[in-house]
Structure 1
Amino acid sequence: MVEDFVRHYGYAAVALGALAEGETVLLLAGYGAHRGWLEWPWVVLVAALAATLGDQFFFFLGRWFGPQLVQRFSGLENNLPRVQRLLHRGAPWAIVSVRFLYGLRIAGPVLIGMAGVAPWRFVLYNAIGAALWAPLVTGLGWFFGAGVAELASRLQWAEEILLAIAIVVLLIVWRLWKRRQRASSNL
């Protein structure tokens, strides 16, 4: 099922997933790249570009419609102090790191847009964040795929050993049963 999804939708799924939250789709795409269904460099490139564009969209949404969004979505207001603290401590790295913080992937760019960060500054550091995020998450999917492949080969080896042990045990039980049958028939 995963193989069919990744093969059928491939890079389009990566782009759509990266526009929003993206981690799950990107992990699957990294796994798919390991399996040879997708090309790893293309997955990273598509994810980085789509994530950058998606965050830019949310940034400008916050810049232009921030107060209305806060009224409509109360969760945004709850995250506003957290984003403002991050921006106050180190604006560039707050922008880079917001995509790595749980619950702030979409809300972060909206709130940064509301905070009045210059658009050129957000574009630059958002692109840097996407350039770090895409290969990291894709790489995790790739290594997960490698781990699954290694586990499968070890399980196959263990399965063969267990099968051999089961055959030996069955032979021993069968021989003991036969002996017992012969012993009871001799009485």
Structure 2
Amino acid sequence: MNPALHQFIVDYGLWAVLAGTFLEGESVVVLAGFLAHQRLLHLPDVMLCAFAGSFAADQLLFYLGRRYRDRRYVRRIREQPAFGKALALVDRYPHSFILALRFLYGLRTVGPVALGVSRVSPLRFLVLNAIAAAIWAVCFSALGYAFGQTIESMLGRLHGVETKLGAAAAIGAAIWLAYHLYARRRK
């Protein structure tokens, strides 16, 4: 591996996980788990950063929904079709919804805002959000690590992390595309 790229990943990889999970999510954590398998990042640190970014993002969105429910940003989110669906699920299954939120396609951003607008107490959301973020971070980090093991066994003859990372990215892109096509067809 290029020594400069290796050092860049070692120096800034965890910051990228923290920022990536704050903004996006699953693919960043899976990639970080893969890099942990390649011994470029430490898996428990990846899990901790994934937890922190995801937890902080959802807390922020919850409080935006709670504090600014009548402002333009929140009103725009409330106008999305997924918002009504999220609010109905919150009213029906508040605890389950908070715990499953990270795993529900299309509700990742609107879900915490819907929870903020709902009657769910901030303390209840904080506790359940922490539990859900921990489960999510461990699951997706471990998935990336296991994915790295699978790539390693399938492509073990290929040398260099760049080659394996490229192959992993191609396989990941194919899985992502298949998932999104499936999700679109279900709608």
Give TM-score, length-normalised by structure 1: 0.75
Distance, in Å, in 1 between the alignment partners of 2:90 and 2:6 is 41
Distance, in Å, in 2 between the alignment partners of 1:112 and 1:46 is 24
Instruction: Tell me what 1:127 maps to.
Output: 130
Give the aligned CA root-mean-square deviation in angstroms: 2.2
Q: How does 1:63-74 map to 2 (within 5 A)?
A: 63-68=66-71, 69-73=73-77
Instruction: Tell me what 1:39 maps to.
Output: 42
Paired residues of 2:77 and 2:83 also in contact (CA < 8 A): no
Distance, in Å, in 2 between the alignment partners of 1:107 and 1:86 is 12
Which has the larger displacement, 28-37 or 40-49? 40-49
Count, aligned residues: 155
Distance, in Å, in 1 between the alignment partners of 2:24 and 2:104 is 11
* Structure number with bigger Rg: 1
Runs (4 or more) in structure 1 with deviation over 4 Å come to: 1-5
Q: How does 1:134-153 map to 2 (within 5 A)?
A: 134-153=137-156
Paired residues of 1:29 and 1:141 also in contact (CA < 8 A): yes
Distance, in Å, in 1 between the alignment partners of 2:7 and 2:148 is 16
Deviation at 1:153, TM superposition (A): 2.8
Give TM-score, length-normalised by structure 2: 0.75
After superposition, give the CA deviation of every residue in 1:140-186 in whole Å (9 maximum; x if it has no partner): 11111111100013679xxxxxxxxxxxxxxxxxxxxxxxxxxxxxx
Structure 2: unaligned runs, 5 residues or longer: 160-187
Paired residues of 2:77 and 2:110 also in contact (CA < 8 A): no
Paired residues of 2:62 and 2:113 also in contact (CA < 8 A): yes
Deviation at 1:67, TM superposition (A): 3.0
Structure 1: unaligned runs, 5 residues or longer: 157-187
Cα separation, partners in 2 of 1:141 and 1:57, compared to 1, 3 Å: same
Structure holding more helix per residue: 1
